[in-house]
């Protein structure tokens, strides 16, 4: 699969409740970095870990590999931020 094919893969986002493309997950985190759930959401679809490891700087990839769910308030604020970006 080339980057374009990877980026256009779709799934239901558990945070937004709507169908999104992988490319959205790449920029929907803080400061337009990948969403912290990206490994959890995509590992069943393709080898997302190897894909990201090969393309992201270590300083960006490492936090994703150790990401944990944030508290409820932070999650709600994050969902609002994602909704703004999706418009
Ligand atoms: S990685 Fe984030 S934005 Fe992408 S589907 Fe999962 S929760 Fe939604």
pLDDT, tens only, 35-80: 999 999 999 999 999 999 999 999 999 999 988 766 777 777 778 8
d(CA 61, CA 42) in angstroms, rounded, equals 15
- 13 within ligand 1 shell (Cβ under 6 A): yes
Q: Which residue segment(s) compose the domain that 27 sits in?
A: 3-86
CB atoms within 10 A of CB 40: 14
By most ligand atoms within 8 Å of CB, the mutation choice from 18, 20, 43 for ligand 1 is: 20
- pLDDT given for residue 70 in this prediction: 63
Question: What is the pTM assigned to this prediction?
Answer: 0.80
- The total number of structural domains that make up the chain: 1
- Please give the structure tokens belonging to residue 82: 């994602």
- 15 within ligand 1 shell (Cβ under 6 A): yes
Query: What integer is the mean pLDDT of 10-35?
Result: 95
Q: What distances in angstroms separate CA 58 from CA 26, 55, 62, 64, 74, one per listed residue?
A: 15, 9, 6, 10, 25
pLDDT confidence bin for 81, thresholds 50/70/90: confident
């Amino acid at each position: 699969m080339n980057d374009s094919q990877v980026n256009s893969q779709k799934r239901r986002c558990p945070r937004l409740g709507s169908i999104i493309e992988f490319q959205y997950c790449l920029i929907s985190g803080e400061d337009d970095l990948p969403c912290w759930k990206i490994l959890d959401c995509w590992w069943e679809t393709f080898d997302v870990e190897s894909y990201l490891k090969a393309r992201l700087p270590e300083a960006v990839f490492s936090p994703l590999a150790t990401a944990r769910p944030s508290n409820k308030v932070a999650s709600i604020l994050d969902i609002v931020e994602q909704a703004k970006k999706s418009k």
